[in-house]
Every structure is written in structure tokens, then in C-alpha cells.
Structure 1
Amino acid sequence: MKVGFTLLFLALFSLAVLADDPPPTEGFEHAKGEDVLVKLQGENKDMYIISFFQPGDNYLEVRDKIKEAMTKDLPDEQYQYGEVNLASGYEYQKLFETLGLEGEPKRGKTTPQVLIMKESEGYVLHGSDIGNGITKKYMEVKDGKVFK
């Protein structure tokens, strides 16, 4: 009887723990920050849109806004989408430091912060109208007119 009760307790506990886990992230796969840096730097000609989020923020809503805006405004454009949890820890520290995202988000900025980049040039965007911000900056990044 004790074994059955223990197994039942463990099964219920496992379900409770799994229910609190955030959904898996979408986009290209990465196991550490260097995986993301390799994609962003160098001679890679792909466009990247990467959402940097913290657990508990509205990154799923932001993902949907980005996809909706890109589909509506730039339906023929190709890009790689990825998500990185800002609480990922040491394996992503070099990425966070390189992009200036280490620690808490900069004062006055919200998460998710979304990077749009091609060939090591791009922008970090944030705010409630992120979808429109991405589509506005997309062509600047694509055409290499960042900060010019």
C-alpha cells in the first residue's frame, strides 16, 4: 500500500512540476551562447530575429506579434527565428556580454528584447509594438543601412 501511495504521489508531483515549466522555445536549435554567436557573426548572409526573454514575461505573445507582422507586411522575406532565455546562465554569458544583455534588462526597457541582425549588424528592439518595429527595421538591416 505504501509503495502504491508513493508512486501516486510521485506521479502527481511530476505533473505539477511539468505544469509550471514554460513551453519550449521555438526557432533554430542552440545549446549554448556560442551556438547563437556563430550564426550571428561572420559571413553568414541570413537574417536573424532573436527574442531574448525572461521567465514569466510575455514572450509567447511577442513571438505571435512578430510572426503576424512579418507574414502581413513582409510575406516573401526569409529569416531565421530563435529564442534565448535570459536566465539561461553561464552557458550563454558570452552571448549576453557580446550583445550587452547581461544582467537585468537595462533600466526603462522591457523584455522580451528582440534582436534583428544580418552579418553582425542590427538592432535590439523592445516595447509593446514590437511586431511593427521589426518590420520597419527589417529592410534597413537587410540592405545594410543600419545606423546610417
Structure 2
Amino acid sequence: MVFRHRDGDYAITAIYSVADDAWFLELDVVAGQRNLVTATIPDEDPAREPTVRFNPGAERTDVPYEVMRWFMHQVDEEIRGSRAWMRWRPELVEIVRRLRQEHMGVIDEDDFPEVLADVRATVPEEDLPVVLEAAFGRSPDGTTVTHPQTPGL
């Protein structure tokens, strides 16, 4: 997925790497397709922190402050969206981590009722919506979540 800055000179490319269990957001100069900065946002392991790496092989490039703020805002949004659950109570973090590993973040319609019953047996009812959203992007009724919740956990 590519997002272009409004000035047209810069773009962010967002890529998910299954092998790394992480999102990569790359800030590029559109002309010449040069990568300037890469942010890595792990979304499976709470022990791995997000990082930002500047391309050491790139020639010196002055990046406008507004463009860097735009890039870091996108990085911050990705961190918030894919890692918010990692700040919850430890027992909920472990449940979400286990569910994501076991089901790779995707669950078949036919398997959802059984998994939901298992999750209900271990998660308090008030935490159920945010746990299912973090693990599968679904609500307890099985529908896809389009507006993420911000838990008070």
C-alpha cells in the first residue's frame, strides 16, 4: 500500500512481512524511488520494540520537517493500531498473543463459534470485544470491526 504526501515528492510504502511478524513503513523520494527511512513495527511479540532506521547507503537528502512529521504520524498510527493491545493487563496480552499465533490473526467463519466459546471461558465478558478485535479484527457477533475500540484496560 502506498500513501503519497500532498506535495507529491514523497511517499510511504506500507508492507507486512509475515516472516518478521512486523509492518514496515518506508519513506521514499518518489523521483528516483529512493528509500530514506524505514520504520519497523513488530505486531506479534510485545518484547520487540518498534524501530526507525535511516538508509545508510542513500546520499544525503534534506527532508522537509512537515514530511518527517507526516511520516512519524503514520508510524505512530501503525504502532497504536497494531500494538495497543500490548499495553493491556499481562493476562490479556498473553491471551491475544496466543490467539494470534495459533490462528495467524485469521479465523474461518465455521471455526469462530468454537474459538469464541473458548475465549469466553478465559476472558471476562467486558474484555471480550477488545480481545476479539485485537486477535481477529472481529466483534463477539463475528462481524468485522470497522471502528476500533480504545480499551480502558
The answer to whether TM tops 0.5 is: no
Question: Relative contact order: is structure 1 or structure 2 higher (C-alpha 8 Å, sep ≥ 6)?
Answer: 1
How does the TM-score come out when normalised to structure 2?
A: 0.24
How does the TM-score come out when normalised to structure 1?
A: 0.24
* Larger relative strand fraction: 2
